[in-house]
C-alpha cells in the first residue's frame, strides 16, 4: 500500500542473502558453513560477568547514562595504546570513533562520502556487507580482481587514473569471502597508489588478530597517511553480540563529518557494553585469549581442508587461508553454486553461494565456507555431504 | 584536505547543538538544564546487575553471538504483550523492530522514505534529533505550528492537500522541546487526516509513560492503521546507555524496507543488552519503578515552575507540562535566547536556546529547560541565576 513512498536509497539496498538464509537455517539439524559466526566456546563469559559486576559497582550511573558520540574515552585510550604496542602506530584517542559494529562504520562511510554516481573501488569478490552498505548511496562501483596476493595493481592504477574515485575499500587479511591475504609488496603499492591519486583508503580488518601463525600483519595505513580510514572490531575476538567496532580517521574534517553522521544515526553506541568491554580488556590476558581462538580456528580450518581434499573432486579448487574464518572454493566449470546450495539445503548442509559477493550479483561458481562455528567432526560430515552432491551434480 | 570528497548528504546534516554544548558543560560546577538526561538515581542498577548474572548463566552464548536484525524475539514478545495490557493494542512480535535507540529509528525512517525534495511534515518547534536525521536526506520540511493542544489542524489539512507529503512526524505527549500534549480531539483529527490523505504517521513516544498523574494517554495509532509507525524506547524508563528502542510498523513492505536498512546500518542491536533488558522487564515490577520516576520528575518539575514564578519577570511565559522532561519558556520580545545562553554559561548555568528546534534555525526567543537531571535545590539555584540575567538583560 505504501510502496510508492519508498525512497530511491531504499530501493538501491539489497537485502542480505546471508541474513535471509541464516533465518531459514536456525534448525539445529542443519550443518551451517554459511554464517560468519565465531565459535561460541570462544566467548569469555565468566570474565564478562566479572567485568559487568565490577563496572556496575565502580562506574554505576555513568554506564547507564547518555554518553559521547565518539565513544567511551577509556575504551578509545585502550585502543590507541593497543595499536601502539602491537602495530607501532601513533594514534590518539581523538582520532578514534567507536561504532555499533563495523557494519555501522561501512554505512557511515557510504553516507559521508558517496554522491550518486561517484566511483568507489572494491575487490572482486568483495565483502557483501560493504556492497550492501555502499550500494544504498548509488555509487558506480568499480571492482578489481583479487589475486592470491591482493588486488590486481595494474588494473587498480588504471582505474584510479581514469576515475576520480572517492575511496578504495579493502580487507587485506584473510579476506571475506576469499580468505586471501595481501603480500607485503601489494600493501606497499596500495598505500603508494592511494596517496598518489589522493584517494581515501578504507582498510577493514576484522580478522587480522586471527592469524594462525606468528605476529599479525602490519596495517597498510600504519604509516602516516591522512587519507586512511582503518576499521577494527571486537566481534571476532571478544563478542559480536555487543556490536562494538571502531574507526580510526586521520583527517579532521572527515572525522567531524563521520561523527555528525553517527550522532544522527544512533547518538552513541551502547555505553554499558563499552564499559564492560573496556574493563574486560584491561583485566584479562587478551593476547592469551586470542591465541586460544587462533589455535581453535587453525584446527578447524585444517579439518575442513583435509575433508575437502578427501571428499571433493580435484576439479574443485579452493584457497588455503592463513587465518580468519573462510575458505573460498571454486566449482568445476558449468556448475552453479546456487543450484548446489538448493540441493545441499535438502541434505541439511548450507554455505553461501558466491553471487552476493559480486557487485553485479552474477551467477557464480564459487562458494564461501565458514569453518569457525562447527566442531571438526561436524565439519568433516558436512564436507562429505557436499562432496557427494558435487560428484553427483549433473547426474 | 578531503573536504571536496564530502557527500551532499553529509553537508545537509547539521551537527547537534545539544551534543556540542553537552561536551563543553561536563564541568561539575555547571548547572545544566540543557540535556535530556534521566536522573541517574532512577537507574535500576542492582536489578540490572542481577539480570546480567542471570542472563549469562541461563542464556550464555546466545547473548554473545550474532543475532536477528529485527531484535530478540523474547523482547519483542514482551513489548507486544505490554502494549496489549497498557494500550489494548493488538501488535504481533513480527510487527516490531528493535532499534539502537529511537535515534536510529528516525534515521531509518528518513532513509527509507525520503527522496530529495519530498515533503515531510513536522511540528514547530520540533525535536532536533528528528530534524537532524531527516535533514540528511534533503526533504522539503513543512512545519505546522504547535499550539497548547497540538498541531494547528487547519494548517495541517491545507498542507496535506497541497503536497504529497511522505509522512507527518509528531511527539504527542509532553513534546520535546515544548512539553506540550495533544488533546483527545486533535489526536482524533490527526488520525483521520493521515488516513484520509494516505500519509504515513510517525508517532514518537519517548515520554508517554512519564505522565505525572493518571494513566498514560492512548496512542494515536492504537486503532488499526496501516500507515502508522510508532516509536518507543526504554531510554527514559530504564536506561539510555543501552540504546534500546523499538518501532512498530504495520505495513509489511515498509517493515521489510526498514529491516533491510537496519541490516545495512548495524546488522542488529546489541543482543547482550536486549537479553538483560528483557530479563529485567520480566523479573521486576516495572510499573512500580516508573511510578517512582514519575513522582521524582513531578517534584522536580514543580520545583522548577515555582522557581520560575518567583525568579522570572512576568514577561517570560512558559509551558506547564503534564509529564516528560522539559519546560519551554518564551522570553520577552527582543530578547535573544542565544545571547542569554552565552551570558548564562559565564554564570555556570546552561539551557538549550530555541533555535535548533526550528527547521530554519531562526534566531528564537525561546529556551528549553530540562528539570529531570538536577535536584530541587540545584534547580532553584539555577533558575534564580537565570532570573537575574533576564532581569538585567539589556542593561
What does the pLDDT look like over B321-365, one tens digit per residue? 999 999 999 999 999 999 999 999 999 999 999 999 999 877 789
Q: Is B103 on the interface with A (CB under 8 A)?
A: yes
Q: Which of residues 45-84 of A touch B (CB under 8 A)?
A: 45, 48-49, 52-53, 56, 60-61, 63-69
Smallest CA–CA distance, residue B366 to chain A, in Å, is 24
Alpha-carbon distances, residue A392 vs A265, A275, A382, B8, B287 (angstroms): 49, 53, 16, 53, 62
Q: What is the pLDDT of residue B180?
A: 98
- Whether residue B113 lies within 8 A of chain A, CB to CB, comes out as yes
A136·B261 Cβ contact <8 A:
yes
Q: pLDDT tens across A337-388, in order? A: 999 999 999 999 999 999 999 998 777 899 999 999 999 999 999 999 999 9
**Residue A391's CB: how many other CB atoms inside 10 A?**
14
Indicate the residue of A67, A257, A265 with minimum beta-carbon distance to B103.
Answer: A265
Q: Please compute the mean of the pLDDT values over residues A168-184 and round it to a whole number.
A: 98
User: In this complex, do A265 and B260 lie within 8 Å of one another by their Cβ atoms?
Assistant: no
A241 in contact with chain B, both atoms CB, cutoff 8 A: yes
Closest chain A residue by Cα to residue B133: A264
Q: How many CB atoms lie within 10 A of CB B117?
A: 9
Contact list, A28 vs chain B (CB under 8 Å): none
Question: Cα A27 to chain center, whole Å?
Answer: 25
pLDDT confidence tier of residue A319, bands split at 50, 70 and 90: very high
pLDDT confidence bin for B23, thresholds 50/70/90: low
First to last CA, chain B: 46
- For residue A171, give how far its alpha carbon lies from the nearest alpha carbon of chain B (Å): 18
Q: Please state whether the peptide bond connecting residue B125 to the residue before it is cis, i.e. omega within 30 degrees of 0.
A: yes
Query: Which range, of A248-262, B73-87, B219-233, averages the lowest pLDDT?
Result: B219-233
Interchain proximity A45–B61, CB inside 8 Å: yes
pLDDT tens sequence across A299-316: 999 999 999 999 999 999
Partner residue facing B266 (CB), from A167, A243, A260:
A243
**Whole-angstrom Cα distance, residue A80 to residue A93?**
6
- Answer whether A66 sits within 8 Å of B240, measured CB to CB: yes
Interface contact flag, A240 B65, Cβ < 8 Å = yes
**By percentage, how much of chain B surpasses pLDDT 70?**
98
Residue A24 pLDDT class (50, 70, 90 cuts)? low
Q: What is the pLDDT of residue B16?
A: 79
pLDDT given for residue B146 in this prediction? 97
Chain A CB within 8 Å of residue B136 CB:
yes
Helices assigned H by DSSP within chain B: 8-11, 17-24, 45-59, 73-87, 101-113, 128-135, 153-162, 184-196, 252-266, 271-283, 286-311, 337-346, 376-392
Contacts of A106 in chain B (CB under 8 A): 264
pLDDT tens digit sequence for A88-128: 999 999 999 999 999 999 999 999 999 999 999 999 999 99
Q: How far is CA B53 from the centre of its chain?
A: 31
Tens of pLDDT, residue by residue over B101-137, are 999 999 999 999 999 999 999 999 999 999 999 999 9
Does the beta carbon of B372 lie under 8 angstroms from any beta carbon of chain A?
no
Q: List the single residue in A35, A37, A260 with the smallest CB-CB distance to B15.
A: A260
The three cell numbers of residue B17 are 547543538
Would you call B107 an interface residue with chain A, using a CB distance cutoff of 8 Å?
A: yes
pLDDT exceeds 80 at position B170: yes
pLDDT at A1 over 70: no
pLDDT band at B22 (very low <50, low <70, confident <90, very high): low
> What pLDDT, on the 0 to 100 scale, is given for residue A279?
98
Cα–Cα distance measured from residue A385 to residue A387, given in angstroms and rounded to the nearest whole number: 5
pLDDT above 90: residue A25: no
CA-based nearest residue to A122, from A154, A161, A164, A159? A159
What rounded mean pLDDT belongs to chain A? 94
> Closest Cα of chain A to B10: distance in Å?
5
User: Is there a contact between B15 and A263 if contact means CB atoms under 8 Å apart?
Assistant: yes
Contacts of A240 in chain B (CB under 8 A): 64-66
The answer, for A333 touching chain B at a CB cutoff of 8 Å, is no
> ipTM strictly over 0.90?
yes
Please check whether residue B225 touches A, CB under 8 A: no
User: Looking up cell 528502542, which residue turns up?
Assistant: B245
Residues 178-207 of A with CB under 8 A from B: 200
Mean pLDDT for chain B? Answer: 94
**What phi and psi values does residue A144 have, to the nearest 5 degrees?**
-120, 125
Cα gap A325→A296, rounded to integer Å:
11
- Say which residues have a Cβ less than 8 Å from residue B299's Cβ, sequence separation at least 6: B376
pLDDT for residue A222: 86
pLDDT score at A22: 67
- How much is the average pLDDT of B188-202? 96
Residue of B nearest to A6 (CA): B113
Distance from the Cα of B286 to chain A's closest Cα (Å) equals 17
Q: If DSSP codes are grouped into helix, strand and coil, which group holds residue A80? A: helix
Residue A340 is predicted with a pLDDT of 95
pLDDT in tens, A51-99: 999 999 999 899 999 999 999 999 999 999 999 999 999 999 999 999 9
Q: How far is B310 from chain A (nearest CA, A)?
A: 32
Whether the pTM exceeds 0.95: the reply is yes
Nearest beta carbon to residue A111 from set B10, B256, B270: B10
Query: Is the separation of the CB atoms in B27 and B345 below 8 Å?
Result: no
Amino acid at each position: 500500500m505504501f510502496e510508492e513512498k519508498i525512497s530511491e536509497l531504499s530501493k538501491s539496498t539489497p537485502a542480505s542473502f546471508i541474513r535471509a538464509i541464516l533465518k531459514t537455517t536456525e534448525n539445529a539439524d542443519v550443518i551451517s558453513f554459511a554464517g560468519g559466526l565465531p565459535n561460541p566456546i570462544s566467548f569469555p563469559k565468566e570474565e564478562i560477568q566479572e567485568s559487568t559486576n565490577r563496572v556496575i559497582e565502580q562506574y554505576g550511573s555513568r554506564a547507564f547514562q547518555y554518553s559521547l558520540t565518539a565513544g567511551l574515552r577509556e575504551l578509545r585510550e585502550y585502543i590507541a595504546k593497543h595499536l601502539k604496542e602491537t602495530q607501532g602506530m601513533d594514534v590518539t584517542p581523538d582520532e578514534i570513533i567507536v561504532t555499533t559494529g563495523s557494519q555501522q562504520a561501512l554505512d557511515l562511510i557510504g553516507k559521508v562520502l558517496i554522491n550518486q554516481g561517484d566511483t568507489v573501488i572494491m575487490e572482486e569478490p568483495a565483502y557483501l556487507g560493504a556492497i550492501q552498505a555502499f550500494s544504498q548511496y548509488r555509487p558506480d562501483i568499480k571492482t578489481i580482481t583479487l589475486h592470491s596476493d591482493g588486488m590486481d595493481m595494474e588494473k587498480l592504477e588504471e582505474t584510479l587514473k581514469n576515475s576520480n574515485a572517492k575511496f578504495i575499500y579493502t580487507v587485506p587479511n584473510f579476506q571475506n569471502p576469499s580468505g586471501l591475504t595481501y603480500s607485503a609488496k601489494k600493501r606497499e603499492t596500495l598505500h603508494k597508489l592511494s596517496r598518489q591519486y589522493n584517494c581515501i583508503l578504507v582498510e577493514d580488518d576484522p580478522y587480522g588478530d586471527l592469524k594462525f601463525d606468528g605476529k599479525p600483519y602490519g596495517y597498510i595505513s600504519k604509516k602516516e597517511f591522512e587519507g586512511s580510514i582503518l576499521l577494527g572490531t571486537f566481534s571476532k575476538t571478544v563478542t559480536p553480540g555487543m556490536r562494538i567496532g571502531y574507526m580510526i580517521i586521520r583527517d579532521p574534517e572527515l572525522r567531524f563529518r563521520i561523527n555528525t553522521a553517527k550522532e544522527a544515526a544512533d547518538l552513541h553506541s551502547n555505553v554499558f557494553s563499552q564499559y564492560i568491554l573496556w574493563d574486560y580488556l584491561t583485566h584479562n590476558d587478551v593476547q592469551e585469549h586470542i591465541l586460544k581462538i587462533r589455535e581453535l580456528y587453525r584446527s578447524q580450518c585444517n579439518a575442513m581442508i583435509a575433508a575437502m581434499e578427501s571428499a571433493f573432486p580435484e576439479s574443485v579448487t579452493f584457497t588455503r587461508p592463513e587465518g580468519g574464518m573462510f575458505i573460498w572454493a571454486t566449482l568445476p566449470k558449468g556448475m552453479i553454486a546456487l543450484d548446489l546450495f538448493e540441493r545441499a539445503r535438502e541434505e541439511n548442509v548450507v554455505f553461501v553461494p558466491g553471487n552476493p559477493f559480486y557487485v553485479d550479483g552474477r551467477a557464480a561458481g564459487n562458494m564461501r565456507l565458514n569453518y569457525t562455528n562447527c566442531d571438526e567432526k561436524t565439519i568433516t560430515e558436512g564436507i562429505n555431504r557436499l562432496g557427494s552432491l558435487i560428484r553427483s551434480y549433473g547426474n
